[in-house]
Amino acid sequence: MTDSHAHYDDKAFESDRDALLSSMNENGVSLIINVGDNAESSKRSIALAEKYDFIYACVGIHPEHANDITDRDYDEIKELSKHEKVVAIGEIGLDYHYDGYNKDNQKELFRRQIKIAHEVNLPVVVHERDACADVLEILKDEDIGKTGGLLHCFSGSVETLKIVMDMGMYISLGGIVTFKNAKTAPEAAKHVPIDRLLLETDCPYLAPAPFRGKRNNSIYMYYTAEKIANLRGISFEELEAATDENAKRFYRI
Ligand SMILES: [Zn+2]
């Protein structure tokens, strides 16, 4: 399996990071993309990618940092993006969930990082929370089809899915599809074209059932994959093969 979105640089993995990552291959996880959410975690993602063959990195600034960004941050992300194991700019996007966000600052941060992606010819990994219409507008406006994009942790409607597919994008699904109260993610799991779907954990967050609420890791992705395979009426092996291939195509690995 390929974990297309993980945060192993997070301090939640401080005590056992190397032991856990060293056990991935024997537990069926062959490829992991570690995603930055600011310049520092982007650097840590690259360090993990340098240490492990099967880890690649994304570099980018998450919208939650939009209120304290300087020009230096943009320069840094652009520099980091030139590393040979950096496969995308991310995670970037809009998040209107928590108090204190500033829409204009987030939009500027999002647009400027898409422009960097165009300049360095990398796809983008997009985070969207409570900001669907604005995210879609910016993706369209910035011509995302040119470099390619992945909407991670997708939880939009089937109508939104169609718009995202029409832009030539991919989606990734994680533990939420296994949650009892999940509605839109399982629908998306059924309706997304099989050649546009990736698996992810977003670990340490969003562990699938039966581990909901615990620290997540890529080995638990088996439960997510099995749930999606069931929803689609295909075998685990078929889903695994398709999502592995899609991840490699999207990230150009
Ligand atoms: Zn993430």
Q: Tell me what pLDDT residue 55 has.
A: 98
- Span from the CA of 7 to the centroid of ligand 1 (angstroms): 7
Give residue 200 CA to ligand 1 midpoint distance, Å: 9
Residue 62 CA to ligand 1 center (angstroms) comes to 9
Distance 204 CA to ligand 1 centre (A): 9
Q: What distance in Å separates the CA atoms of residue 2 and residue 180, rounded to the nearest whole number?
A: 24
Residues 80-111: pLDDT tens digits?
999 999 999 999 999 999 888 999 999 999 99
Ligand 1 midpoint to CA 8 (Å): 10
Residue ranges of alpha helices (H) inside 95-235 are: 103-120, 132-141, 158-166, 184-191, 221-232
pLDDT of residue 139: 97
| Integer Cα distance of 27 and 234 in angstroms | 22
Contact 150, 250 (CB under 8 A): yes
According to the model, what pLDDT value does residue 32 have?
A: 98
- Distance of CA 6 from the midpoint of ligand 1 (Å): 6
Residue 126 CA to ligand 1 centre (angstroms): 9
- Cα–Cα distance list, 171 to 70, 75, 109, 150 (Å): 30, 28, 21, 5
- Average pLDDT of the chain, as a whole number: 97
Domains of the chain listed by start with CATH number: 2-251 (3.20.20.140)
pLDDT tens per residue across all 253 residues of the chain: 999 999 999 999 999 999 999 999 999 999 999 999 999 999 999 999 999 999 999 999 999 999 999 999 999 999 999 999 999 999 999 999 988 899 999 999 999 999 999 999 999 999 999 999 999 999 999 999 999 999 999 999 999 999 999 999 999 999 999 999 999 999 999 999 999 999 999 999 999 999 999 999 999 999 999 999 999 999 999 999 999 999 999 999 9
215 CA from centroid of ligand 1 (Å): 14
Tokens of 196: 């546009």
Q: What is the pLDDT of residue 64?
A: 95
With contact defined as beta carbons under 8 Å apart, do 152 and 5 qualify?
yes
* pLDDT attached to residue 40: 96
CA of 36 relative to ligand 1 center, distance in Å: 8
- For position 99, what pLDDT does the model report? 87
